[in-house]
Amino acid sequence: MNKTTCPRVSFDFTGRFLPPVYIIVFIVGLVANGWGLKSLLQKWKKLGNINVFVLNLGLADILYLLTVPFLVVYYFMKSKWIFGDTFCKITRFCFNLNLYGSIGFLTCISVYRYLAIVHPMRVMGRITVTHSVIISVMVWLLVSVQSLPDMFYIKRYSKPYGNNTEKCFDTTDNIYVESYLKYTLGWTFTGFCIPFLITLGCYGHVIVVLCCTNTTDKVLKQRCLKLLCILILLFSVCYIPYHVFKNLNLWSRVLYNQKICAEWSNGVYIARQISRGLVCLNSALNPLVYLHGNENIPAQLRQMLQQACPMFRHPSPTNSGNAPVAQITEDVNTRQTC
């Protein structure tokens, strides 16, 4: 089909949709991750194996959230990037570190909990906090190596349309889109598909073991099922749509360069922009791991509500003392956590 018959792509949709999403993610994500990191650091001496990964998960979120205000300015200015080429690449690099770092650390959490429940005797005393730190460093290095080639592609483009329009691409310019598609397909397989299958396999086996073991604590089963639901939510809402529509959109651009018009290109473009908004939600949804892993947080929420109530009503003459909540440290050496 000739290019002239191609449906018009709704580029304006991006500027209307992404800024409100970015603002919400920035506020919610910064508060939730800040609170979660503070809670972990207060218990640094009691930091367990899994909490090392949770800590790195929070750091990856904070790293990306600090770049979000610049993206909000970019889209409010109708896709005019004013912060320079270097910072454009740094912003996109931070997004990729957050995305694939989050996937990597969630995978590590899944593997550790799989070992703690399915093979507790084999790993008892053999996996320490030092091992978790080393693995975390390896995850950062692997994600950086995977993301580094992306920075060598053109990210900023200037072209006069009456006024100067300066783009900051999240992928690259159409000139290099074919080679970029090949790169991102490999990136999707190694950075997303393999970790997703590992995570799915680990928790699938964990659920089977828990359901087949009559002696297993019901609380443990519930916690494992809750975490599995959190992971399914993260992957289904944030990660799967993003990778599917990113590659489909790149493929439509390759076809366009070959003078082939894909009638589905406009729909895929809009779905791609929606998936970009959804994938940013991972920075706001990742703190659900804090809520699941730290049993003190619900108690802290209740305490905050109790402290806030006297602001709206007269204080009660009686003082009800709440018993302190027992501190439960997650460790791979015990089967009592999930």
Q: What integer pLDDT is reported at residue 68 of this predicted model? A: 95
Using the Cα atoms of residue 239, residue 242, residue 245 and residue 249 in order, give the sign of their dihedral.
negative
Residue 242, burial from CB neighbour count under 10 angstroms (0-12, 13-18, 19+): buried
Give the tens place of pLDDT for each residue, 62-88: 999 999 999 999 998 888 899 988 999
Q: What integer pLDDT is reported at residue 333 of this predicted model? A: 40
**Number of neighbours of residue 96 by Cβ within 10 angstroms:** 20
Q: Which amino acid is at 158?
A: S
Q: What integer pLDDT is reported at residue 162 of this predicted model? A: 41
> Whose CA is closest to 239, among 97, 102, 62, 114?
102
Domain edges within the chain: 3-294
Q: What integer pLDDT is reported at residue 303 of this predicted model? A: 57
Q: What integer pLDDT is reported at residue 312 of this predicted model? A: 47
Segment 20-27 mean pLDDT: 94
Q: What integer pLDDT is reported at residue 262 of this predicted model? A: 82
Segment 287-302 mean pLDDT: 58
Confidence of residue 159 (pLDDT cuts 50, 70, 90): low
Segment 318-323 mean pLDDT: 45
d(CA 22, CA 127): 39
Q: What integer pLDDT is reported at residue 330 of this predicted model? A: 41
At the fourth CATH level, the homologous superfamily of domain 3-294 is Rhodopsin 7-helix transmembrane proteins (1.20.1070.10)
- 249 pLDDT more than 90: yes
Q: What integer pLDDT is reported at residue 104 of this predicted model? A: 95
Segment 180-197 mean pLDDT: 96
What pTM does this model have?
0.82
Confidence of residue 161 (pLDDT cuts 50, 70, 90): very low
- 24 pLDDT more than 90: yes
Q: What integer pLDDT is reported at residue 189 of this predicted model? A: 96
d(CA 110, CA 104): 10
Q: Residues near 4 by Cβ (< 8 Å), separated by ≥ 6?
A: none
> Whose CA is closest to 65, among 104, 107, 37?
37
Confirm if 238 and 281 have CB atoms less than 8 A apart. yes
Segment 101-112 mean pLDDT: 92
Of residues 90 and 331, the one with the higher pLDDT is 90
Kindly state the tokens that stand for 289.
């791991």
- 163 pLDDT more than 50: no
Q: What is the DSSP letter of 164?
A: E
3-state secondary structure 9-24: CCCHHHHHHHHHHHHH
- 301 pLDDT more than 80: no
Averaged confidence pLDDT in the chain: 81
Task: State the alpha helices, DSSP H only, in 119-128.
Answer: 120-123
